[in-house]
Amino acid sequence: MSSQPQPSASDALIQIRGLSTVLNGKTIFAGVDLDIPRGGITAIMGPSGTGKTTLIRHITGQLAPDAGEIIVDGKNVARIGREALFALREKIGYLFQNSALLTDFSVFENVAFPLRQHLRLPEELVRNIVLTKLQAVGLRGAADLMPNELSGGMIRRVALARAIVRDPMLIIYDEPFVGLDPIALNQILKLIRTLNQTLGITSILVAHELAAVSKVADQIYLLAGGKIAAHGSPEELGRGETPWTKQFFTGEADGPVPFHYPAPDYATQLGLA
């Protein structure tokens, strides 16, 4: 297990060097270096509020860092123009934490949305592609339903179908397992693995579920305290050889990651001292 990524990995789709971010006066990242290898499944894990989603927002160019470089497919996303950024995003599938389906559109139209916006395909082809993706997530029969008619797990699966509809080079899954029943969870895991193995799609997985992540991830980055606290394969991190991994993977309240948000003395605040 190593606490730092292998520098200048030539096969890395994403290279992050010296990333520093301060949001609302709070230091989120302080000199983070990280590599996401092409064609692999990389999990980003860490306690809540450590900046996992912020890291994703940096990678997708939604948020500019205060310092450091984020190179995605050879392009520094913080410095490229809007056109180039949108061209890059066309090659990225993003599964939002809350799915972010377009509520006025049916399931079918949600999945077809990226195709209709960017490609002038015959309607028959659009229909076939959308139904193929919906079949992959087990929701071909729900094509005509509206998002408000779906359960939380189904919404997530529709969002996944939309994220993969253009067969992107990179898929980012932000908390993909939340709200899924065991059957759907297993199918989504299979789908993530299949997309990775058959199409060679690079995947970034932001999740808390170590058991699920261990089944598919090639490597895990553990974020904590604004840095990479640990980095390695699921097996390596699962052994809990450092205080960070030990606390995170055993779920103990005591350790380097404080369970309690900084607060004044408890007894003083209650007026007992």
Partner 1 sequence: MSAVRNSPSNQSPSRFAEGIAQVGACGIFLFRILAAIPRSFGHFKETVRQIWFVGAMSLTIIMTCGLFVGMVLGLQLYYVLSIFGGTAALGTVVSLSLYRELGPVVTALLFAGRAGTSITAEIGLMRATDQIDAMEMMAVDPLAYVVAPRFIAGIIAMPLLACIFNALGIFGAHLVGVNWLGLDNGTFWSNMTSSVDVWKDVINGVWKSVAFGAVCTLIATFQGYTTAPTSEGVAYATTRTVVFSAIATLALDFVMTAFLM
Q: Tell me the two tokens of residue 157.
A: 């699966």
Task: Print burial letters for 217-247: b (CB count within 10 Å at least 16), e (below 16).
Answer: bebbbbbbbbbbbbbbebebbbebebbbbbb
Instruction: Give min distance, CB of 103 to partner 1, in A.
Output: 7
Nearer to partner 1 (CB atom), residue 61 or residue 234: 61
DSSP 255: S
In the sheet where 67-72 sits, what is the strand order? 26-37, 12-23, 67-72, 75-76
203 binds partner 1 (CB under 8 A): no
Q: CA 42, CA 28: separation in Å to the nearest integer?
A: 20
64 binds partner 1 (CB under 8 A): no
Total residues interacting with partner 1, rule: CB under 8 A: 20
196 binds partner 1 (CB under 8 A): no
Provide CB contacts within 8 A for 26, sequence distance 6+.
none
Nearer to partner 1 (CB atom), residue 149 or residue 252: 149
Nearer to partner 1 (CB atom), residue 53 or residue 214: 53
86 binds partner 1 (CB under 8 A): yes
117 binds partner 1 (CB under 8 A): yes
Nearer to partner 1 (CB atom), residue 17 or residue 89: 89
Nearer to partner 1 (CB atom), residue 63 or residue 212: 63
Instruction: Give min distance, CB of 273 to partner 1, in A.
Output: 26
Q: CA 150, CA 171: separation in Å to the nearest integer?
A: 23
Candidates 86-94, 213-221, 223-231, 233-241; binding stretch for partner 1 (CB under 8 A): 86-94
Q: Which of 18, 30, 39, 62 binds partner 1 (CB under 8 A)?
A: 62
Candidates 19-27, 99-107, 127-135, 181-189; binding stretch for partner 1 (CB under 8 A): 99-107
Give the CA distances from residue 93 to residues 67, 89, 173, 204, 235, in Å, rounded to whole numbers and listed in that order. Answer: 26, 8, 8, 10, 28
39 binds partner 1 (CB under 8 A): no
Q: CA 110, CA 209: separation in Å to the nearest integer?
A: 28
Q: Which of 4, 3, 28, 2 is nearest to 16 (CA)?
A: 4
103 binds partner 1 (CB under 8 A): yes
What is the binding site for partner 1 (CB under 8 A)? 60, 62, 86-87, 89-90, 92, 94, 96-98, 100-103, 113-114, 117-118, 162
